[in-house]
Chains A and B, each alone.
Chain A
Amino acid sequence: MNMITLIVALPLLAAFLLPISDRALGSVSRFVGPIVLLMNIILIMTLWQKSEGAPFALALGGFRPPLGISFYVDQLALLFALLVSILALMLWPYKADTNPRVFGLMLLLTGAASGMALSGDLFNIYVFFELLSVASFGLVASLRTGAAFAATTRYLIISGFGTVMALTGVALIYTQTGTLNLAHLATLAPQQLDNATGLTAFALILLGIGVKAELFPVNTWVPEVYATASRRVSALMAGLVSKLAVLVIVRLMVLIFPQPEAMQLMLALGVAGVLIGELSAWRARDFVRMLSFSSIGQLGLVFVAFSIPGEAGILAGLAVALHHLLVKPALFLLAERWGGSLGRLEGAGRRSPLAAGLFVLFALSLVGVPPLPGFWAKLLTIVGLLGQAAPLYWFAAAVVLVATVAEVNYLFRFGLTLFKREEQSAQVHKPHARIDLGTVSVMGVVLLTAMFLIAPLGERMQTIADQTTDRGLYISTVLGPVGGAR
């Protein structure tokens, strides 16, 4: 089981060695990253088989928790670690003229993201979060245009203040409990964090980590960063980085802050995100910014879903998050050649019918048209919201439905533009690169497969949600009678 540390260590090692070894190895270094990611995928798969779904904890450096730093490996953590590697492999910058330093940054991002998914220590999470941030700054700026540098600077300042808030929240928790091990915190939280200080700490951490998760008041960086970064990086950030921030918040919420006030705070911010994101996307007049704003709206929906108390919330949130994780990167990859204002794209779909067909498929799923997986995700959310007594939840359900109407409007408007009869003013767009179109097609196949396998997938997710909400299991696995399982 010690192999699990390799998932974090290997990409980090490769990331720091790549820029040095690039001189010596030359073009060989291009294959290092994908090989490391493939190894990661195989490692995680074997671990998942071996552990048979049972969670286990790992005390790093031989210090037993709560003193040492621990990794907690359950199905949710493994699932996200697996998705990190798979998505990074799919969105790898394969272009021949890529600067080798970009490979290093990609690997850094993968290692930090896996560490965030696995870590069971609050401060450790903070460190991985910072590492993830730095890697994403580098990736966003890697196009080296003036606009990219300006967008990165603004993003860095917001993100930097976010980490200050998160760190203050961590300090507040430490003053109350004297520990930062999540399992230990979970045992102490009911007595020591169920008060105003605990709630303040949660709000600070929520806002701090929420910067990456495109949470409502701290998401002004989203449209400009996604518009100036390369599409693959935008896809990675919208699909993956945001979900990992959400994962951390959900872990904290389940283990440490199960107060209804904390949930309602998240719900309110999520609702604001849905409303503002979808309405801005409706107003946007170019594809990339439409996708960026739509991603704010979808992340808002993820927060809304996770703020439903109990297992139903985790299940709904997981469904919405996984669906968005698949669909948004695909749409960003399609935007690679469809940048530019909507007017310029008239008739573009007639020239590349496969890309246009895939767009329609993903758009339908994003909106939530019945047999597609997006429908089930939205259904779970709406049903969960309506099952709650508090009026705020009913309001949230109404907002989600209204936002869906806006979503239908802008996505279909774009779809219609694609299929418009060509005018004489229509501009010639380059066809999609084969690698992009291939990746998107694979994603489309995954989406269709998920549609047919929705029942077993739902059961699988139900077991993951059960395991995630089980605080007792977490505590006994990490601190239990045996101590850290080695």
Chain B
Amino acid sequence: MSDPELHWLLYGGAIGLIVIGAAGIVMGKHLFRIILALAIAEAGANLMLVVAGLRPDAVAPIITGGMIPEQMVDPVPQAMVLTAIVIGVGIQALVLSLAIRVYKAYGTLDMREIRLKMAADIDAEAGVDDEVSQEGPAGERPLELPDAVTSGGPGQ
């Protein structure tokens, strides 16, 4: 495969991963799947950065034994990707721990249910009747969540 083709393939792959991730986040219902979709989108963005510094016929930018290679891959994006990956892992760990807390509080990982229960909690705290919720979608009324108010206790 010639190099320009490879480049386009990699770019296409990166953009494809981001699109898959975006679709997963927008259309996903299960919180864990949404988190996975976020991880996929992050991988796409990272791949994009790596490809930005890619050159044909180049080696990794590491000097071994005092020999300086003729052609090296641009090292700057690689350093940035390293940073981005570390940040990404940290964010994923954080969102997973939050997901555990949410599960403990609401007993579900379905995003729609979480959203409704959260809206009911906020309404209850504000003292607004949840009969005509600000947050609930127009087609979903009346909210059938008899235990929504009581189950929204503190996280632990």
A259 within 8 A of B: no
Q: How many A-B residue pairs lie within 8 Å, measured between CB atoms?
A: 156
B101 near A149 with CB under 8 A, answer yes
Say whether, besides A134-B90, A340-B126, A344-B127, A153 and B99 are in contact (CB < 8 Å). yes
A451 to B104, CA, bound (A): 50
Bound-complex Cα distance A340 to B122 (A): 10
Instruction: Choose from A149, A153, A154, A174 the contact partner of B49 (Cβ within 8 Å).
Output: A174
Kindly state whether residue A298 has any CB partner on chain B within 8 Å.
Answer: no
Given A127-B83, A145-B152, A168-B18, A341:B127 Cβ within 8 A? yes
| A432: B residues at CB distance < 8 A | none
Main secondary structure of the interface of A (DSSP, over half): helix
In Å, the complex CA distance between A164 and B105 comes to 29
Q: Does A70 contact B (CB under 8 A)?
A: no
Q: Looking at the complex, which of B33-41, B58-66, B136-144 is the stretch in contact with chain A?
A: B33-41
Q: Does B72 contact A (CB under 8 A)?
A: no
Please tell me if the beta carbons of B118 and A168 are within 8 angstroms of each other in the complex.
no
Quick check: A286 and B156 within 8 Å, CB to CB? Answer: no
Closest to A339 in B: B126
> Smallest Cβ distance from A108 to chain B, in angstroms?
13
Tell me the minimal C-beta distance from A374 to chain B in angstroms: 26
Give A192 to B87 CA distance when docked, in angstroms. 29
Q: Give complex CA distance A144, B102 in Å.
A: 10
Whether the Cβ atoms of A289 and B134 lie closer than 8 Å is: yes
Give the A interface residue count (CB, 8 A). 49
Could you tell me the distance between the alpha carbons of A88 and B49 in the complex, rounded to whole angstroms? 35
The answer to whether B127 touches A286 (Cβ under 8 A) is yes
Q: Are the C-beta atoms of B126 and A156 separated by less than 8 Å? A: no
CA of A172 to CA of B51, assembled, Å: 10
Q: B102, A157: Cβ atoms under 8 Å?
A: no
A152 within 8 A of B: yes
- State whether A150 touches B52 (Cβ < 8 A): no
Task: Say yes or no: is B69 at the interface (Cβ < 8 Å to chain A).
Answer: no
Interface set, chain A 119-142, CB cutoff 8 A to B: 123, 126-127, 130, 134, 137, 141
Residue of A nearest to B84 (CB): A167
Cα–Cα, bound, A165→B18 (Å): 9
Q: Which residues of B contact A283 (CB under 8 A)?
A: 134
Chain A residues close to B by CB (< 8 Å): 123, 126-127, 130, 134, 137, 141, 144-154, 156-157, 160-161, 163-165, 167-168, 170-172, 174-175, 178, 180, 223-224, 227-228, 283-286, 288-289, 339-341, 343-344
**Chain B residues in contact with chain A, CB under 8 A?**
18, 21-22, 25, 31, 34-35, 38, 41-42, 44-46, 48-49, 51-53, 74, 76-77, 80, 83-84, 87, 90-91, 94-95, 98-99, 101-102, 104-106, 111, 114-115, 117-119, 121-122, 125-128, 134-135, 151-156
